[in-house]
Amino acid sequence: MKIAIDVRDADGEKTGKGFFTYGLVKAILAQDPYNQYVLYSDKAKSPFPEQENVEFRHINQKGFKWHLDTLKDLKKVRPDLYLAPTSYIIPSLAPRWLKIVLVVHDLVAFLFPANHSKKAVFIERMTLRSALRKASKVFVVSENTQNDLIKIFHYPKSQTAEIPCAPHDRYFEEIDNKEAEKIRKKFSLPEQFILAVGTIEPRKNFANLIKSFVLVKRKFPEHKLVIVGKKGWKYQEIEKTIKQYQLEGDVIFPGYMKDEDLHNIYHLAQVFVFPSLYEGFGIPPLEAMASGCPVIASNNSSLPEVVGDAGLLIDPRNSVKIADAIISLIEKPQLREMLQDRGVQRCRKFTWDDSAQKALEEFQKLIGDNPLKTNESESPEKDQENQ
């Protein structure tokens, strides 16, 4: 069988959707050496290792033109199924013969449009309804996103499948303390710091975190706040907040980091805070847990189902509550150790191998008479003989 996948966001400086695409596709390709995969990208090189049953197709266009040219190429390639992990545009325009598996990460464009870029809100609102009508299956990354989908679109639960995210394998590797100290020096990080990770944009709620940090500094003046991530939509608001509270030397922005560096940064931090106003899933709390850093996260959207009892859940709109949680973790080493132990156990419940297996099972159901083979199936030679 031939399965086409949009892998544009799996390369480069990845954020949530990119991490999902990379992690899921990498695990799918590792588990399924039998069926043919066609990977589409706007980049010249594939982010995945070469594999006999994988074809990489570079569509050298950007923006809407990429979607149109890819759609034309799909008509030539004629895949049995098209997986759309990051965009609704091709699914919304897809011809009837093309089976679509759509991934819905969140409904922020419909629930909190003011906290999302206007361009993204416009595109998602223009394309998602049509994409849902044409989709043979919808993958959701969390139960919360599934509930949002049912509530807003009255979408049948039977047409969805939960395929959760997971931390990169690297975050489960043992920390080398000498290497961690090299990373500290590389990014000029202080001895004592509170960590936050995410694209610098309104939905991540870093402005309120900075307000809570003002309260923390009154008790622990030596602590700094480190916010890792690339600049996003309306990042200037964060800069204004820092100037307002005269924290120019106390809030550090090292920029976007690779997994190998970030793994060490999580380990070096005293506390990790994820005060997002809304998340379809939220991978950074799992990365922090796997790295041995105690977690504070918002009590909204998908985050309680991700964090469980392995972190402190707070109201992200209440800066005093955020500060209280941070201070309690700094002051109480036993609480820190308890959350670290729980976090390591919790994050192991989420793996890309499990998510890939679930995805492959759903593909098999859709393809019907031509079931996907798995690692437990017959050998490729016998498979060819049966055909």
Phi, psi of 37 (to 5 degrees): -120, 135
| pLDDT, position 377 | 38
Tell whether 80 and 110 lie within a shared domain. yes
Tell whether 24 and 52 lie within a shared domain. yes
Number of domains in the chain: 2
d(CA 324, CA 123): 39
| pLDDT, position 339 | 97
Tell whether 32 and 107 lie within a shared domain. yes
Asked if the model's pLDDT at residue 170 lies above 60, the reply is: yes
pLDDT tens digits, residue range 171-196? 999 999 999 999 999 999 999 999 99
Tell whether 36 and 17 lie within a shared domain. yes
Q: What is the pTM of this model?
A: 0.91
pLDDT tens digits, residue range 281-311? 999 999 999 999 999 999 999 999 999 999 9
Tell whether 40 and 81 lie within a shared domain. yes
Tell whether 245 and 343 lie within a shared domain. yes
Report which residue type is found at 345. Answer: Q
User: What's the token pair of residue 274?
Assistant: 């994820």
User: What's the token pair of residue 243?
Assistant: 């100037």
Phi, psi of 158 (to 5 degrees): -65, -20
Tell whether 230 and 206 lie within a shared domain. yes
Q: Are 207 and 241 in contact (CB under 8 A)?
A: yes
Q: Are 297 and 311 in contact (CB under 8 A)?
A: yes
Report which residue type is found at 194. Answer: I
Tell whether 80 and 126 lie within a shared domain. yes
- Across the chain, mean pLDDT equals 93
pLDDT tens digits, residue range 241-281? 999 999 999 999 999 999 999 999 999 999 999 999 999 99
Confidence of residue 384 (pLDDT cuts 50, 70, 90): very low
Q: What is the DSSP letter of 179?
A: H
The packing angle between helices 319-331 and 206-219, to 10°, is 50
Say if residue 304 is exposed, middle or buried (CB neighbours under 10 Å; 0-12, 13-18, 19+). middle
pLDDT tens digits, residue range 315-367? 999 999 999 999 999 999 999 999 999 999 999 999 999 999 999 999 999 98
| pLDDT, position 99 | 96
| pLDDT, position 245 | 95
| pLDDT, position 378 | 37
Tell whether 49 and 142 lie within a shared domain. yes
**Which residues does residue 360 pair with via DSSP β-bridges, in sequence order?**
none
Asked if the model's pLDDT at residue 223 lies above 80, the reply is: yes
- We report the CATH number of the domain holding residue 184 as 3.40.50.2000
Tell whether 103 and 10 lie within a shared domain. yes
Report which residue type is found at 371. Answer: P
Tell whether 320 and 368 lie within a shared domain. no
d(CA 7, CA 367): 21
Tell whether 54 and 102 lie within a shared domain. yes
pLDDT tens digits, residue range 32-62? 999 999 999 999 999 999 999 999 999 999 9
Q: Give the domain extent around 114.
A: 2-166+351-386
How many other C-beta atoms are found inside a 10 Å radius of the C-beta of residue 203?
21
Asked if the model's pLDDT at residue 379 lies above 70, the reply is: no
**Which residues does residue 103 pair with via DSSP β-bridges, in sequence order?**
139
- Angstrom distances, CA of residue 213 to CA of 138, 187, 224: 40, 21, 8
| pLDDT, position 23 | 97
